[in-house]
Structure 1
């Protein structure tokens, strides 16, 4: 069975049909740049470009980089335009995609759902936390495989700063930090999250999951097991499609 998944990020909008039996993309993903400013209408146009690229006419699952309540209403917009707040995202995307059935879910939650079903979190009990390091830091918290949605742990305060402003992948790039220097920031962040939630497993997702060997060896002193996401940066697309299936 295939359903289309779209992952909306702060820098790119990417999507592809997903084989839900295999938990993987059924075709090479297509990506367009996230517009700036990333207003609802502009982002919806980008999503339409991605979906139209495949001529897709079935259900579509979409991620959003913020809190989404009731499967539709956007409550936060840290890395997109603030005009998203209180937008009915499902209605917007349904209209722009010509009435196709649409499901909207937080981006990190989608990635976490995919990793727990098909990747690094499969079969793991206890507390599992997936963290996506990209434009910001997204989080997905699981207890015995059950998602606690919209946790937004990237906005924890760390040494007087919003954590994602110090430890996101964008912070590394903007600060021109070495992988080792950035890993020390990530370590401090993980230690803070570990103190609060005592997870058995951290899964590191986002684009940096492809480069885990560059920084994970420098992350020391964390009691929980730390592994890169197995689905890497496709996890959000897969999880979005999973949620669209219901």
Structure 2
């Protein structure tokens, strides 16, 4: 299996790139989804299939589901997979919302061995994959300068792009907010858990995003996650200097971004 160079790790270029197809897998806490993607258009060319995430979500169990998704699609070729952790040179470095056995696991190798059939798997952070997809085909398409995508779900994921180039593993959801880990205060799961109105929850999101804004002075925020479907209920309540757009690819973003990363780095 070809290892990733440091330069590849630090800059996944999302403007331009070869046409072609790749298989994308989006691994979440409750479900794992996969489909073949035409990376030249950002469209899924097979029906998206979803399988429940195994519990406990150990490397072996998750790899088995990845292999099943790929096998069910009859796919052989480059495969990209998202994962909710810091991924450095294919190795999981954190486990904030996943099974702790992932820390130190070579996810690239684990998934590639499980899939077999001469296919190779590239793993990247889930928010980073969404950022790649939104920069190529979504809300951040054609936007120059600094773009920050924030996904609000169980936690808060982030992707930082500079002129369309991804700076991986920013993990801005773990910035301190009011003496707490930011995602413990402003994630969408917190709103659900406490039955908060969008108006009340948006105040926390606004405080968090203002903090990010002061640190990075972005040209655009893109907000994703399930709550982006109801963006009209909370985005207008944010008091930011930076424009905010809801993500456009929604449930397909991780799959599309993973496929793009795979074909651009495994297809070389």
Question: Is the TM-score greater than 0.5?
Answer: yes
Q: Which residue of the partner structure matches residue 21 of structure 2?
A: 2
Q: Which residue of the partner structure matches residue 7 of structure 2?
A: none
1:103-157 alpha-carbon deviations (Å, 9 max, x no partner): 1111111110111111111111111100111121111111222211110000001
RMSD: 1.3
Q: Which residue of the partner structure matches residue 93 of structure 2?
A: 75
Please say if residues 11 and 135 of structure 1, whose CA atoms lie closer than 8 Å, have aligned partners that are also in contact. no
Aligned equivalents of 2:55, 2:185: Cα separation in 1: 22
TM-score by length of 1: 0.95
- TM-superposed CA distance for 1:170, in Å, is 1.5
- TM-superposed CA distance for 1:211, in Å, is 2.1
Q: Which residue of the partner structure matches residue 163 of structure 1?
A: 182
* Matching residue within 32, 51, 56 for 1:32: 51
Counterparts in 2 of 1:46-125, with a 5 A limit?
Answer: 46-70=65-89, 72-98=90-116, 99-125=118-144
Q: Which residue of the partner structure matches residue 233 of structure 1?
A: 251
Aligned equivalents of 2:75, 2:196: Cα separation in 1: 41
* Matching residue within 32, 40, 46 for 1:21: 40
What is the DSSP-based 3-state SS (H/G/I as helix, E as strand, rest coil) of the residue aligned with 2:196? coil
1:10-61 alpha-carbon deviations (Å, 9 max, x no partner): 2221111111111121223111222222211121122223223322222210
TM-score by length of 2: 0.87
What is the DSSP-based 3-state SS (H/G/I as helix, E as strand, rest coil) of the residue aligned with 1:129? strand
- TM-superposed CA distance for 1:208, in Å, is 2.0
* Matching residue within 200, 216, 233 for 1:197: 216
Q: Which runs of 5+ in 2 are unaligned?
A: 1-19
Q: Which runs of 4+ in 1 moved over 4 A?
A: none
